[in-house]
Amino acid sequence: MEHKNKNLLIGGLLAIVFIMAVGYAAFATQLTINGTAQITSKWDVHIKSITAGAPTGTATNQTEVTKVDPDNNLQANFGTQLQSPGDSITYTVVVENSGNLNAKVSGITFTQNNTGSSASDSVDVTGDATQGNFATNTSNPITYSISGIKIGDKLASGESNTATFTITVAYNSAVTSQPTNAQLKSDLTVVLSYEQDKGE
């Protein structure tokens, strides 16, 4: 009888140890969660093309200059030769958003520099860039006017979504005397700033 009780006691102890081992194993089980996240947005606003229109008067376009910079598609260059008051050429600039983020114009700045002189016309303009039409100071023999783009203009994402504006280079018809050497050549720099359009 005593032997039988010992066997029962040993069996009971073994059962308790087994239950405890299972319980500890369950308690010690680790839950592992693996995950990956990836951003697939693409920002790509660039100048697609710049094209010279028909010259007015005796103006000529330097075709070897007028192009989008192959090393920097945010920059376009044009070259114009003017001979007489009234000469002009209008260039059409196309900006493309081939990314997948909507964009809008956040700033427009420009500087007109006369070669051979420290003179720079960076603020004296007529019109308002926020309204889409403005021009450089008409006291210069070479003037520039820009139209068709303004701050706040939106450019939706996706291939073939473009915005178009024009830059007109002209020999100022109001000039009555021969320009000085410093005024014979002028360079214009236009900087368009784009930011993500969050639809606000």
- What's the pLDDT at 119? 44
The tokens of 168 are what?
């007109």
23, part of any domain: no
Which pLDDT value is given to residue 16? 65
For residue 71, tell me if it sits in a domain. Answer: yes
Angle at 42 between CA 37 and CA 47, to 5 degrees: 175
Position 123 pLDDT exceeds 50:
no
Structural domains of the chain, count: 1
Question: Has residue 20 been placed in a domain?
Answer: no
For range 51-76, the mean pLDDT = 93
Judge whether 66 lies within some domain.
Answer: yes
CB 183, CB 143: distance < 8 Å: no
Q: What range defines the domain where residue 187 resides?
A: 45-196
The two structure tokens encoding residue 39: 């951003």
Per-residue pLDDT, averaged over 23-33, amounts to 67
- Mean pLDDT estimate for the chain: 80
Q: Is residue 67 part of a domain?
A: yes
Contacts (Cβ under 8 Å, ≥6 apart) of 178? none
